[in-house]
Structure 1
Amino acid sequence: MKARVHVMLKNGVLDPQGEAVRHALGSLGFDGVESVRQGKVIELELAETDAAKAEESVKAMCEKLLANTVIESYAVELD
């Protein structure tokens, strides 16, 4: 089973990478971009076949390692 984790900074947390991308887009002539938030996607290939167990396991991975839950939020997708 494949799991995909989307990790983003929480609202209100300064995103310097997103701001740099927004500025660069403006410099390239892409006007009207008011805000950019940059995140990351982590793909995991799991041996688990039970979706509920897989989701529980991936959430535990996020809480312990994959996301800094103080400043980041995450969402889990299973395929």
Structure 2
Amino acid sequence: MKARVTIMLKDGVLDPQGEAIRHALGGLGFGGVGGVRQGKVIELDLTATDAATAEAEVKRMCEGLLANTVIEKYAVEIV
């Protein structure tokens, strides 16, 4: 079973990488981009066979290590 975790900065947290990407896109002629938020995706191969158990375990991983929950939000998808 696989899990995909998407981690993004929370709304209101400054995203300098996103702003740099937005600026670079403007320099390349893509003027229609008003804002960019940059994040990360982590894919995990799990041995769990039950989706609910796997999701609970991955959420514990996020809370303990994968995401800085003070400034980041995360979403877990079992695929």
Q: Give the structure-1-normalised TM-score.
A: 0.99
Aligned identity (percent) is 76
Separation in 2, partners of 1:23, 1:15: 12
Q: State how many pairs are aligned.
A: 79
Letter in 2 for 1:70: V
Deviations 1:17-43 (A, max 9, x none): 000000000000001211000000000
CA distance in 1, matches of 2:71, 2:15: 11
Partner SS for 2:3: strand
Counterpart CA distance in 2 for 1:52 and 1:22 is 38
Unaligned runs of 5+ in 1: none
Aligned Cα root-mean-square deviation (Å): 0.4
1:6 counterpart SS class: strand
Q: Provide the C-alpha distance between the structure 2 equivalents of 1:6 and 1:36, rounded to a whole number of angstroms.
A: 16
Output the amino acid matched with 1:36. V
